[in-house]
């Protein structure tokens, strides 16, 4: 998977978003003999710390790091099992890792003695291996899939406005300016039963996953996002311009007057593994690349 990640502070005094992408390639024995097999898996995640909580920034940043650690360890463990990364095991792994992150976030309130949750964040997650991806979601940071020239939303927002839309009480135009459009009904760090949504999606070479915070999706509609992908991603080329696409989406959100941090993670599904490396992209900035053991 080709990955691009970008997080911009926007007009806010600090960045309460965290966006990350991680690719892991593991060499294992070939069941039929011959040369070892190289399996590749990728993780994309976006967190948006909830501003009404006193430690939203810490929730997004530390929660993301913990989730990546749990998922990477689990993927390495599962790779050694027969049949490698099966979709059902990937989904179980994601549920365990998200529950672990949520447990840690909830524990911070208990340790501080606070009456209300202190570390609260949204979550958007994609874990891809083979021809399947697990999508996890909690809050209002959506996950999209671009396939065959069309953009489809894979998640349903956990927000007050989304409920009103689904019930037919308001329309999209009203939703975009509704005074409660930032009120979410689910997030990590509020209660032990996390209530995140999980689904397995079959993937094809050429698929593009897009995860974003509401600093982008709150000011750009799906048609605008699709137009920017089509114009800037270069998906018909041998090497897609994912960094350019990420920059274009963030710049468009800033020009549209977003009042929030703007973060995005892109993952492009390629047909085969071309290297044996482990690459970690984190934004706010950290880039680590090292040869896989």
Higher pLDDT, 176 or 73: 73
Q: Which domain holds residue 206?
A: 2-291
d(CA 226, CA 260): 21
Question: At residue 110, does pLDDT exceed 50?
Answer: yes
Residue pair 89/78 in contact by the 8 Å Cβ criterion: yes
Residue 249 contacts by C-beta under 8 Å, 6 or more apart in sequence? 212, 216, 220, 225, 228, 229, 264
pLDDT computed for residue 33 by the predictor? 65
> Rounded distance, CA 205 to CA 255, Å?
32
From CA 275, how far away is CA 289, in angstroms rounded?
12
Could you tell me which residue, 238 or 244, shows the higher pLDDT?
A: 244
Q: Give the residue with greater pLDDT, 278 vs 63.
A: 63
Domain count, the chain: 1
Q: Which is more confident, 159 or 226?
A: 226
Q: What's the confidence (pLDDT) of residue 289?
A: 33
Confidence at residue 35, expressed as pLDDT on a 0 to 100 scale: 72
pLDDT for 92 equals 95
The pair of three-digit structure tokens given for residue 16, joined into one six-digit string? 């309460």
The reply to whether omega before 284 is within 30° of 0 (cis) is yes
| Alpha helices (H) in 132-205, listed in sequence order | 160-166, 172-177
Give the residue-averaged pLDDT of 224-231: 96
Task: Please check whether residue 25 is in contact with residue 292, taking contact to mean a CB–CB distance below 8 angstroms.
Answer: yes
Summarised one tens digit per residue, pLDDT across range 13-69 is 999 999 999 898 877 666 666 677 677 899 999 999 998 889 999 999 999 999 999
- On the question of pLDDT at 279 being above 60, the answer is no
**12: which 2 tokens?**
């806010």
> Residue 68 to residues 5, 76, 119, 219: CA-CA distances in angstroms?
15, 12, 18, 29
Query: Residue 70 is part of a domain; what is its CATH number?
Result: 3.60.40.10
54-70: per-residue pLDDT in tens?
999 999 999 999 999 99
Looking at the predicted structure, is the pLDDT value of residue 196 above 50? yes
142 closest CA partner among 172, 165, 122 = 122
Average pLDDT, the chain: 86
Q: For residue 272, what pLDDT is reported?
A: 59
Q: Tell me the per-residue pLDDT of 61-109, one tens digit each, with 9 for 90 and over.
A: 999 999 999 999 999 888 777 666 889 999 999 999 999 999 999 999 8
Give the pLDDT confidence of 125-138 residue by residue, as tens digits. 999 998 999 999 99
Q: What percent of the chain has pLDDT over 70?
A: 87
């Amino acid at each position: 998977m080709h990955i691009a990640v970008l997080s911009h502070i926007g007009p806010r005094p600090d960045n309460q978003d965290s966006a990350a992408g991680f690719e892991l390639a593991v060499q294992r024995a070939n069941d039929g003999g011959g040369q070892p097999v190289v399996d590749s898996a990728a993780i994309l995640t976006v967190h948006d710390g909830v501003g009404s909580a006193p430690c939203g920034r810490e929730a997004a940043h530390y929660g993301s790091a913990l989730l990546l650690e749990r998922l990477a360890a689990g993927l390495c463990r599962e790779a050694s099992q027969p049949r490698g990364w099966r979709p059902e095991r990937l989904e179980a792994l994601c549920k365990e890792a998200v529950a672990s992150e949520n447990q840690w976030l909830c524990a911070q309130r208990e340790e501080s003695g606070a009456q209300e949750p202190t570390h609260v964040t949204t979550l958007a997650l994609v874990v891809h291996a083979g021809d399947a991806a697990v999508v996890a979601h909690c809050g209002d940071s959506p996950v999209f899939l671009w396939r065959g020239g069309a953009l489809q939303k894979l998640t349903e927002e956990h927000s007050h406005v989304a409920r009103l839309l689904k019930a037919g009480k308001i329309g999209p135009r009203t939703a975009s300016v509704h005074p409660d459009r930032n009120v979410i009904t689910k997030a990590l760090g509020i209660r032990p039963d996390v209530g995140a949504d999980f689904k397995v999606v079959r993937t094809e070479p050429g698929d593009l996953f897009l995860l974003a915070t509401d600093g982008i999706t709150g000011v750009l509609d799906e048609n605008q996002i699709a137009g920017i992908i089509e114009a800037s991603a270069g998906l018909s080329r041998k090497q897609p311009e994912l960094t350019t696409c990420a920059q274009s989406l963030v710049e468009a959100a800033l020009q549209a007057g977003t009042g929030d941090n703007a973060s995005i993670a892109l993952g492009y599904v390629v047909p085969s593994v071309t290297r044996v490396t482990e690459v970690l992209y984190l934004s706010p900035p950290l880039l680590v690349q090292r040869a896989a053991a």
